[in-house]
């Protein structure tokens, strides 16, 4: 690989809202690291409830909706094509919801799969106001435990960190393990996600260190232990596929390369020009997923 000299690029222009948050956190951290940590953690774990897009209602209209008890209240879950030959569970990312999988749902139903998706706690129609990765693990586990044998899981972004980094245990009644797993635009490193958040807000190192210590205190394990680079190679799966876009604006493509290097059995494919979200509905990507699951 040939290296090229770094090019001079303009610094990104921060939105006014982020500039204000940076100022607030700078002042708060100057007063108390603990106060700044508590405010940062609340922000880090509170998703926005994004407005519903017009096409989402049509996706859910074709689904059978059911509820599952979850870690922060009732979880909304949806099923399509209940008579399908094999079952696929879809696990969405941060600030998404089950209906965001609509294009893939139709492709999988056309291939005669039974499809199930859930709204994470504090997302979509599920109860709750905040979400942590361990809480999402418990939510996905609760839904998986209500289902019959699962053939595959398709997970996007935080959903992939949840399924593998947790990990969620599938098919316990039939000996455990998962025949197929597809990961789309997932983070390779959990601490790197927190560092990007801290960099965006200009949080001092002491606040980031307090976040790491809090995770260890609450869950008895370091944040790094949730990383796919560590959990992936030992995740019980027959075949796993990772697809990541070279221009992903949320999770750097370099993390996908690191994950592929750490997980030798992982099949890795790159896309270009799809970013973090369009990869979920690009026809060529969907066709590859359906073929991989067969």
Q: How confident is the model at residue 15 (pLDDT cuts 50, 70, 90)?
A: low
DSSP string, 107-160: HHHHTTEEEEEEPPTTSTTS--S---HHHHHHHHHHHHHHSS---EEEEETHHH
Same-domain pairing of 272 and 286: yes
Same-domain pairing of 222 and 88: no
Same-domain pairing of 176 and 197: no
8: in domain: no
Same-domain pairing of 105 and 208: no
pTM to 2 decimals? 0.92
Same-domain pairing of 78 and 144: yes
Same-domain pairing of 144 and 282: yes
Same-domain pairing of 67 and 204: no
Q: Which residues of 202-229 are buried (b: 16+ CB within 10 A; e: fewer)?
A: bbeeebbebbeeebeeeeeeebbebbbb
Are 140 and 166 in contact by the 8 Å Cβ rule? The answer is: yes
Number of domains within the chain = 2
Same-domain pairing of 217 and 91: no
Same-domain pairing of 37 and 61: no
149: in domain: yes
170: in domain: yes
For the record, the structure tokens of 186 come out as 């997932």
- Distance CA(199)–CA(202), nearest Å, equals 5
Same-domain pairing of 118 and 143: yes
Same-domain pairing of 132 and 74: yes
Whole-number pLDDT of residue 210: 96
Whole-number pLDDT of residue 72: 87
pLDDT tens for residues 177-232? 999 999 999 999 999 999 999 999 999 999 999 999 999 999 999 999 999 999 99
**172 to each of 98, 178, 205, 232, 235, how far by Cα in Å?**
24, 10, 41, 19, 14
Tokens 């245990």 sit on residue: 169
Whole-number pLDDT of residue 10: 39
Q: Which residues of 155-175 are buried (b: 16+ CB within 10 A; e: fewer)?
A: bbbbbbbbbbbbbbebbeeee
Same-domain pairing of 246 and 125: yes
- Distance CA(244)–CA(250), nearest Å, equals 11
Q: Is pLDDT of 241 > 50?
A: yes
User: Which CATH number does the domain housing residue 283 bear?
Assistant: 3.40.50.1820
79: in domain: yes
211: in domain: yes
175: in domain: yes
183: in domain: yes
6: in domain: no
Contacts 24+ apart (CB under 8 A), 192-198: 192/255, 193/161, 193/251, 194/44, 194/223, 197/40, 197/44, 198/40
Closest of 138, 133, 157 to residue 211, by C-alpha: 133
Q: How confident is the model at residue 16 (pLDDT cuts 50, 70, 90)?
A: low
Q: Which residue range is the domain that position 111 belongs to?
A: 55-189+239-293
- Distance CA(210)–CA(151), nearest Å, equals 40
pLDDT tens for residues 112-134? 999 999 999 999 999 999 999 99
SS (H, E, C) 41-108: HHHHCCCCCCCCCHHHHHHHHCCEEEEEEECCEEEEEEEECCCCCEEEEEECCCCCCHHHHHHHHHHH
């Amino acid at each position: 690989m040939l290296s090229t000299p770094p090019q001079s690029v303009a610094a990104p222009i921060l939105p006014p809202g982020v500039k204000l948050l940076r100022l607030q956190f700078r002042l708060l951290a100057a007063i108390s690291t603990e106060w700044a940590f508590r405010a940062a953690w609340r922000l880090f774990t509170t998703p926005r409830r994004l407005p519903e897009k017009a096409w989402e209602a049509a996706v859910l209209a074709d689904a059978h909706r059911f509820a599952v008890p979850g870690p922060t209240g009732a979880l909304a879950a949806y099923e399509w094509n209940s008579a399908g030959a094999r079952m696929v569970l879809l696990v969405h990312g941060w600030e998404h919801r089950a209906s965001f999988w609509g294009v893939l749902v139709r492709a999988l139903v056309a291939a005669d799969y039974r499809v199930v998706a859930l709204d994470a706690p504090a997302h979509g129609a599920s109860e709750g106001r905040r979400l942590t990765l361990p809480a999402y693990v418990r939510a996905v586990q609760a839904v998986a435990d209500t289902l019959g044998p699962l053939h595959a899981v398709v997970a996007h972004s935080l959903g992939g960190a949840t399924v593998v980094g947790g990990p969620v245990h599938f098919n316990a009644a039939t000996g455990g393990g998962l025949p197929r797993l597809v990961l789309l635009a997932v983070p390779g490193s959990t601490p790197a996600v927190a560092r990007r958040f801290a960099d965006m807000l200009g949080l001092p190192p002491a606040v980031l260190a307090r976040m790491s210590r809090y995770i260890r205190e609450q869950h008895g394990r370091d944040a790094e232990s949730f990383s796919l680079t560590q959990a992936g190679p030992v995740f019980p799966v027959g075949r796993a596929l990772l697809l990541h876009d070279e221009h992903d604006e949320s999770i750097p493509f370099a993390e996908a390369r690191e994950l592929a290097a750490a997980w030798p059995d992982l099949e890795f494919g790159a896309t270009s020009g799809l970013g973090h979200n369009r990869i979920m509905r690009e026809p060529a990507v969907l066709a590859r997923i359906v073929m991989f699951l067969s």
